[in-house]
Amino acid sequence: MKKGERKRRILKEIKTNKFLYLMFLPVLIWYIIFAYVPMGGITIAFQKYSVVKGILGSKWVGFKNFQTLFADPYFFRLLKNTLLINIYGIIFGFPLPIILAIAFNEVKNKHFKKITQTISYLPYFISVVVVASMLIQFLSTEGVVNGILQAMGKEPIFFLQEAKYFRFIYLASDIWQGVGFSAIIYLAALSGIPQEQYEAATVDGANKFQKMLYITIPCLIPTIVMMFIIRLGSVIAVGHEKIILLYNPLTYETADVFNSYVYRVGLQDMKYSYAQAVSLFQNVVGFIMVFTANKITRKLDGTTLW
């Protein structure tokens, strides 16, 4: 009886919302095939995967790939490079959009503000291949940067062939691309500050610098904290797309991160199982961190990220 009622309720739900199900169906199929089937492919990290035998036919090896990973002399290097790129990225890249937003906030000329804002967002929309190509051109031995060095009487530098320059090049171009765009969220927060607060401060004799210190920055703190926690959540991940365009065996020492290693060992050398173990390690740690970050921001803000 109860079973029948439940069945009837489900049928009724499907009948009333049949078009909603129909609309969502292609999306669901897409997610199953292109997101959840690949997720099942994670299991190859516990196998000695062979392309011929497939996932079902390959031999299970338990945690052997992970034991190899943790004993791999590269493991520490990958962890160090991934964390350092993120930590330096936070130290040098995180404050700049905030400073930029505050600076934009002081600009009273509308045309100047609009034009400069538009320019500042532009690099965000340029492709990673174009950015990497520009870097390679400018930094080559015949490039403009070495031209300037030579004009100053200095020896040319092989910027992309020396490991010690890689992080700087990677992060400087990251900041160049993203600083304007990242400022948007702070500008949105600034536009929410009631103008009366500034007016009241003016009446009290505060100057612009004091207003920035005592009104603008306190109003930005919640957004800053939120963005900072989100940023910390992704500290275990560095995307491979720009890395693999800029690195080479000479710079692996500082450039190689988990994702670029997965690409090289997995997709280039076809050691699928081992590379997948590396990838899974990073994804699990990353998942825990992003999940925690979201929990914290939810507590702070009362809303979720997603």
Partner 1 sequence: MRSKINAGEKLYVFFCYFFIILLCVTILYPFIYMVSASLSSTTAVMRNKVVLWPVEFTAEAYRVVAQYKGIWTAYANTVFYTVVGTLINLAFTILAAYPLSKKRWGARKLMSFILVFTMWFGGGQIPFYLTMKNLGLLDSRIAVLIYGAVSAYYVIIFRTHFESLPDSLEESARIEGANDITILMKIMIPLSKPIMAAIALYYAIGRWNSYFWEMMLIQDEKKLPVQVILQRIVINSQLSEDVASALTAGQQSFPMTIKFAAIVITALPIICIYPFLQKYFVSGALVGSVKE
Binding of residue 179 to partner 1 (CB under 8 A):
yes
Nearer to partner 1, 28 or 200 (CB): 28
Which of 230, 252, 235 has its CA nearest to residue 87? Answer: 235
Least distance to partner 1, CB of residue 77, Å = 20
Residue type, 20: L
Nearer to partner 1, 18 or 164 (CB): 18
Binding of residue 245 to partner 1 (CB under 8 A):
yes
> In this structure, are residues 7 and 20 in contact, taking their beta carbons and an 8 Å threshold?
no
Contacts of 146 (CB under 8 A, 6+ apart): 139, 140, 156, 157
Binding of residue 67 to partner 1 (CB under 8 A):
no
Least distance to partner 1, CB of residue 92, Å = 14
> In this structure, are residues 143 and 156 in contact, taking their beta carbons and an 8 Å threshold?
no
Q: Do strands 59-60 and 47-48 pair parallel, antiparallel, or not at all (unpaired)?
A: antiparallel
Q: Which two tokens stand for residue 63?
A: 């945690």
Burial class (CB in 10 A: 0-12, 13-18, 19+), 276: buried
Q: Which two tokens stand for residue 222?
A: 């919640």
Count of residues in the chain: 306
Between residue 204 and residue 233, which ones bind partner 1 under the rule CB under 8 A?
207-209, 212, 226
Please identify which residue in 1, 5, 15, 35 interacts with partner 1, judged by CB under 8 A.
35
Q: Which stretch binds partner 1 (CB under 8 A): 60-68, 82-90, 110-118, 194-202?
A: 110-118
Please identify which residue in 123, 163, 198, 201 interacts with partner 1, judged by CB under 8 A.
123
Binding of residue 165 to partner 1 (CB under 8 A):
no
Binding of residue 19 to partner 1 (CB under 8 A):
yes
Binding of residue 250 to partner 1 (CB under 8 A):
no
Binding of residue 120 to partner 1 (CB under 8 A):
yes
Binding of residue 60 to partner 1 (CB under 8 A):
no
